[in-house]
Amino acid sequence: MLAEVESEAGDSDSAMVTIARTIAEAERLGQRWYDAELHRIRGEILLRQAPSVHAEEAFLTAVAIARRQKTCSFELRAALSLAKLYCATERPAEAHAVLAPALEGFGPTSEFPEIAEAQALLGRLA
């Protein structure tokens, strides 16, 4: 959360240091359950700096980790971030390809607004 706040406040350098430290600490402790979300957050921070290959790599890493760990909600959040990046860089087919499988099995709920956002984006991509 600290890295997100730092990034939103415009302090991208501190945010990158914080998220890198957090990822390293999770690895050192063997606490891997939040890895997908950490990499998604890293991608969002990188994206705020400028759309880049590094943000895409972070989102792809987050999706892969979430799939491997079978954490569907983290996969959807990472896929949504990646799909938005793909849309912004005029790659709608890739956005659809990453978002559609991540959205499978989810129904709308106010407790997880990313579902509605993903469904709306998928509808625009169809």
pLDDT (tens digit per residue) in 54-80: 999 999 999 999 999 999 999 999 999
Q: What is the CA radius of gyration of the chain?
A: 14
* 11 phi/psi in degrees, rounded to 5: -100, 70
Query: Which domains, and CATH codes, for the chain?
Result: 2-125 (1.25.40.10)
Give the pLDDT confidence score for residue 48 in this predicted structure: 87
What are the pLDDT digits (tens) for 5-62? 999 898 989 999 999 999 999 999 999 999 999 999 999 999 988 767 899 999 999 9
What are the pLDDT digits (tens) for 96-117? 999 999 999 998 888 999 999 9
Q: What's the pTM value of the predicted model, to 2 decimals?
A: 0.91
Structure tokens at 6: 């730092």
Residue count (the chain): 126
The candidate with the shortest Cα–Cα distance to 117, out of 102, 4, 50, is 102
Mean pLDDT over the full length of the chain: 94
Residue 43: how many other CB atoms lie within 10 Å? 26
Count the alpha carbons within 13 Å of 62 in the hemisphere toward its beta carbon.
Answer: 31
